Amino acid sequence: MTHPRSTLTLTPTLLASRIEDLASGERPLLLVGPSLGTSVSALWGPAVPHLQEQFVVIGWDLPGHGASRPSDGPYTLQDLADGVEEVLAGVVAEHGVPSSTPVLAAGVSIGGATTLTLAQRPGTRIDRLAAICTAARIGTPEGWAERAELVAQAGTPTMVEGSAQRWFAPGFMAEHPRVATSLLQSLQHADRHSYAHACHALGTHDLTGRLDRFTRPLLVINGAEDTVCPPADAAVIADGAAAGSVPVRAVTLPDVAHLAPAEAPEATARLLEELLDD
């Protein structure tokens, strides 16, 4: 059975620096995306103090998460990548971003899968990309279909307990309760049908066999404690990209599970600065 393509409207949010800095071309533009179940402000907020001196940071939210309106039907990672390109085009047009301004993009989990998709597009305006806590393929189509059905029927609160176990490295919730609570609350408030649509998108995400097609320099960051997308997944991406024509760097962060910008904000920001300067 085929479904009509969902119309995606991703809402951008200024997270760091002044929007006026875009027109002057004084700072590079960094587009950041969230993981499934989180808002971009909750996930990237801890990293903002470490990014604001270097970048103008603009986040985008998944449909039905954070500031973005719900999706009206199933969509794919290609559709999501189109939505990010539209966000960028809108920012460039509205604020007169010079063509010489570097544009970087970073995303986590499904946001990172979107980054991988964008990195394979020859015509993208984005110069360099970072895929964080993600993989060329995440889980199985059957597993994502089961989760989508559960959440569509019972709501996103059913995911809170399991996500708390998967998202954070041991001890993080006790040491950083405000950060963890903000992230879990964004999950609880996410639109259940939009969450289910995102699950279906992840069920069709599979770049294995196409990892030599990246057209832009790529940084892959994974957490040593990540059980969803373990460090081996970053190595798979880097090894698969070795036959391609652009550099791909893989980094594993210690004491980090699935949400690196929240768990290791300073280290994540430093790696993004290195991606810009490399």
190-199 pLDDT, tens digit each: 999 999 999 9
**Do 144 and 200 touch, CB atoms closer than 8 A?**
yes
pLDDT band, residue 20 (cuts 50/70/90) = confident
1 pLDDT higher than 60: no
Per residue in 114-161, pLDDT (tens digit) is: 999 999 999 999 999 999 999 999 999 999 999 999 999 999 999 999
Q: Which two tokens stand for residue 118?
A: 């964008």
Q: What is the pLDDT of residue 7?
A: 60
* 103-120 average pLDDT score: 98
**Do 165 and 228 touch, CB atoms closer than 8 A?**
no
pLDDT band, residue 3 (cuts 50/70/90) = very low
Amino acid at 3: H
Question: b vs e for 85-117, b when ≥16 Cβ sit within 10 Å of the residue's Cβ?
Answer: bebbeebbeebebeeebebbbbbbbbbbbbbbb
User: How many CA within 13 A on the CB side of residue 198?
Assistant: 27
pLDDT band, residue 243 (cuts 50/70/90) = confident
In the block, tokens 């006026």 appear at 20
According to DSSP, residue 47 is labeled G
Contacts of 242 by beta carbon, 8 Å cutoff, 6+ apart:
212, 248
Contacts of 145 by beta carbon, 8 Å cutoff, 6+ apart:
199, 200, 203
CB neighbours (10 Å) of residue 122?
7
Mean pLDDT of the chain: 94
C-alpha 178/C-alpha 71 separation (Å) is 29
Domains of the chain from N-terminus onward: 12-277 (3.40.50.1820)
Rg (CA), the chain: 17
Per residue in 40-77, pLDDT (tens digit) is: 999 999 999 999 999 999 999 999 999 999 999 999 99
Look up the pTM and report it. Answer: 0.95
Contacts of 19 by beta carbon, 8 Å cutoff, 6+ apart:
56, 95
Q: What pairs with residue 60 in β-bridges?
A: 12
88 pLDDT higher than 50: yes
2 pLDDT higher than 70: no
According to DSSP, residue 11 is labeled P
Beta strand pairing call for 103-108 and 29-33: parallel
Longest Cα–Cα distance in the chain: 50
Strand positions, DSSP E, the chain: 12-16, 29-33, 56-60, 103-108, 128-132, 218-223, 248-253
SS3 at position 133: coil
